[in-house]
A and B are shown apart, each in its own frame.
Chain A
Amino acid sequence: MSAEHAIVVDGVTKEFLIRQSGTMTLKSAVIERFMGRKRYQRTLLALDSVSFSVRKGETLGIIGANGAGKSTLLSLITGTMLPSAGTIRSSGSVSSLLELGAGFHPDLTGRENVFLYGAIMGLTREQMKQRFDAIVAFAELSDFIDQPVKHYSSGMYVRLGFAVAVEVNPDILLVDEVLAVGDESFQRKCIAKMEEFRREGRTMLIISHDIPTIQAISDRILFLDHGKVAGLGDPSEITEGYRSASRSKLAKSSEREWGSGEITIQDVTIRGGDGPAEDFSFGDEMVIDIAYEAKEPVARPVFGVAIKDVKGATMFGTNTQIEGTTIERVEGKGRIAVRFDNLALAGGTYLISLSVHSEDHRTNYHRVDNRYPISIQAPKSFEGVHLSTEWKVQK
């Protein structure tokens, strides 16, 4: 391990044994050993030969879907678990926030827990005393610090947890999903503190599902997928890969398709101003190119399109009938395109659904729901569809 590295993870694999039935007892252990009866066990591969290193002073963001192995990785670096194979080396003290306020004892007061955490980190009582006021001030808990933490609200718990973990001045700070909890003002404070950490040249590993924040704060990003390294490098590049992976996963999970089959939607291309695209900005132009096939002649079919957000709410939907485009007759292969001049939608991921049905809406020839994902970046944080508005202040 060279002097410039804070953490070196080399070929780390972590397997968990999952017992299918019952709990382990001494009796069952003896029976299994001597009678050769083995209960069915399953291994779960949480991490699969993961290798990477973190330089001193670097901030590494870790992203990935739930169950990708992010938290297991931090547990291994913290030292609460040992890898099944491979090695992890780190230099300097590691303070970890594996769940905020982890290790707090509910019956002890906030004050006692602060000293307990300091002691776990190997700090003396004197050292903790010097930091105590700063911790209480940061956590904004001066009125409650002598109450048992079991009476704390979850927000208070989280604030104290974050305050302690950063104030013990570790060489390496591990943060697991801190940004998801706490109110907005506290989140801003956390991010400011992390920025300060970064400026001081300390090493940080951050797990978060808040992609824009993690992208802004990290020097590099590690993308884990099913326990494997799916990408490591430049934040915007890796988050892009992650976004498109999770988009297609989202589309796959909510996708539905049905219809009577007289006309089928064959091939769909979504294009932006300069060629096929999935990522758009607010106000962009978008064209959906649909190739269809009619096995037999069909008169007056209606093509429809809908845009839904990830929660399934329809943002916009229309069809050729509503828009006054009459298609007299289709037969064999053909193409139809729909152009959106101005994607005035809030930032986020959307799923596009397409349909073709009869003029009287009685027969669905083919309908494809939620198959085509797009994402939109918006400069302003309005919600839903942006309608033209004007505010006038009146006396």
Chain B
Amino acid sequence: MRLNRLLTDIWERRELLWILVLRNLKIRYKNSALGFFWSLLTPLVMILIYAVFARILRFNEGQPWYLQMLVTGIVVWQFLSTCLNDSLSAVGGNTNLVKKTSFPRIILPLSNVAANLINFMLTLVVLIVYLLAVGLRPACLLGLPLVLLTHAALCLGLALIISSANVYFRDTEHIVGVSTLAWFFLTPIFYEAERQLAFMPENMRWMIYLNPMTGTVAAYRFIFMSLPTAGAPGMAISAAVCWGVLLIGVVVFQKAQRYFGDVL
């Protein structure tokens, strides 16, 4: 059981993982007067900006809770996009550690994703408070850990692939930038999943859930806003893709990390 072995290795270096997570968070808010409060302030400011523009531009007038739906979608998306962005330098930015010391390399991207997860959870607190304040009722917060974990699995899987690819290929950064942008618009964030479904023949509608973010965003909207989902099969497909990406990521990374020391 090589996976078992990997988990044991990571567990043995949990202290290192924790220190790297703290380092990530610390460096992010270093030299800023408000420090940690930025992680609460940023989403608040973002909600405010979208609220003002939605009012001025009058888009989707009449659709109930459009602004809240939009903000939820963007907050959820941001966790993924910061993970993808940070993963570019997860290994390459720690050349010193990789070339000179020995530890399970997977801890580097893992610590990035974990730091972003902590940040994301703080943002979610702000979001939930906001949604409660405007009168929305969450459906089942008990399901949140499961959704969070599945979402994080997707982020980690992609972070593993990108962080190892960026060691070998210098154009990874550009590919990630362009694909992330395309992916953002393919995911129902500015719009509801039903709009996409309308384009699809009945028997092919399940395919939109092959985009794991479609199901993920819908799941958060269901939990926080009680917006209806497209049903269990679609959500299951998205969740399966998330965990599948993690599995592929682990395999790719473990193969790639063998030669990090040579290439860096």
A residues contacting B by CB (< 8 A) are: 16-17, 23-27, 29, 75, 78-82, 94, 96, 98-99, 102-105, 107-108, 112, 115-120, 122-125
In the complex, the answer to whether A26 meets B100 with C-beta atoms within 8 Å is no
- Mind listing 23 A-B residue pairs with CB under 8 Å? A17-B262, A26-B171, A27-B171, A29-B168, A29-B169, A80-B261, A81-B261, A96-B100, A102-B101, A104-B96, A105-B23, A105-B96, A107-B30, A108-B23, A112-B19, A117-B101, A118-B15, A120-B13, A120-B16, A122-B13, A122-B103, A123-B15, A125-B15
Q: Please report the C-alpha to C-alpha distance between residue A107 and residue B100 in the assembled complex, in whole angstroms.
A: 18
Interface pair B19/A102, CB less than 8 Å apart: no
Bound together, the chains give a CA A23 to CA B263 distance in angstroms of: 11
A24–B19 CB distance below 8 A: no
CB-CB < 8 A to B194: which residues of A?
Answer: none
Q: Chain A residue with minimal CB distance to B9?
A: A122
Contact between chains at B100 and A122 (CB < 8 Å)? no
A82 touches B16 (CB 8 A): no
Give Cα A81–Cα B99 distance, bound, in whole angstroms: 8
> A77 CB to closest chain B CB, in angstroms?
10
- Contact indicator A107/B101 (Cβ below 8 Å): no
Q: Residues of B contacting A116 with CB < 8 Å?
A: 16, 19-20, 23
Determine whether the beta carbon of B170 is less than 8 Å from that of A25: yes
Give CA–CA (A78, B97) in the complex, Å.
Answer: 12
Label chain B's interface by main secondary structure.
helix
Q: Which 10 A-B pairs have the closest CB atoms?
A: A102-B100, A119-B16, A79-B102, A81-B261, A26-B169, A25-B171, A80-B261, A119-B15, A103-B101, A98-B100
Q: How far is the CA of A119 from the CA of B258 in the complex (A)?
A: 21
Please state if A99 and B102 are interface contacts (CB–CB under 8 Å).
no
In the complex, A166 Cα to B175 Cα: how many Å?
44
Of the residues A78, A107, A108, A118, contact of B102 by C-beta under 8 Å: A78
A26 touches B172 (CB 8 A): yes
- Tell me whether A99 and B100 are in contact (CB under 8 A): yes
A140 to chain B, nearest CB (A): 23
The answer on a CB contact under 8 Å between A26 and B165 is yes
Q: Which residue of A lies closest to B19 (CB)?
A: A119
Q: How far is the CA of A125 from the CA of B103 in the complex (A)?
A: 17
Provide the B129-159 mask, 1 if CB < 8 A to any CB of A, else 0.
0000000000000000000000000000000
Q: How near does chain A come to B130, taking the closest CB pair, in angstroms? A: 34
| CB of A164 to closest CB in B, whole Å | 11
> Are B12 and A26 in contact, CB atoms less than 8 angstroms apart?
no
How many angstroms from the CA of A116 to the CA of B18 in the assembled complex? 10
How far is A98 from B23 in the complex, measured between Cα atoms in Å?
23
Residues of A within 8 A of B12 (CB): 122
- Checking A112, A115, A118, A120 against B97 with a beta-carbon cut-off of 8 angstroms, the contacting residue is A120
Question: Are A81 and B262 CB-contacts (below 8 A) given A26-B169, A123-B15?
Answer: yes
Contact at A103–B96, with CB atoms within 8 Å? yes
Chain B's closest residue to A26 (CB) is B169
Known: A26-B171, A107-B30, A123-B15. A16 touches B262 (CB 8 A): yes
- What residues on A are CB-neighbors of B96 within 8 Å? 102-105
Smallest CB-CB separation from A176: which chain B residue? B100
Q: List chain A residues, Cβ under 8 A from B16.
A: 116, 119-120, 122
Residues of chain A within 8 A of B27, CB atoms compared: 107
Kindly list chain A residues whose C-beta atoms are within 8 Å of the C-beta of B261. 75, 80-82
Could you tell me the distance in whole angstroms from the C-beta of B264 to the nearest C-beta in chain A? 9
List chain B residues, Cβ under 8 A from A80. Answer: 98-102, 261
Q: Is B59's CB within 8 Å of the partner chain A?
A: no
Contacts of A99 in B (CB 8 A): 100
Q: Are B169 and A94 touching (Cβ within 8 A)?
A: no
* A112 to B16 CA separation, bound complex (whole angstroms): 12
A158 smallest CB distance to B (angstroms): 14
Contact B19 A115 (CB under 8 A): yes
CA distance A96 to B261 in the complex (A): 15
Hey, what's the 0/1 contact readout for B86-98 against A, CB within 8 Å counting as 1? 0000000000111
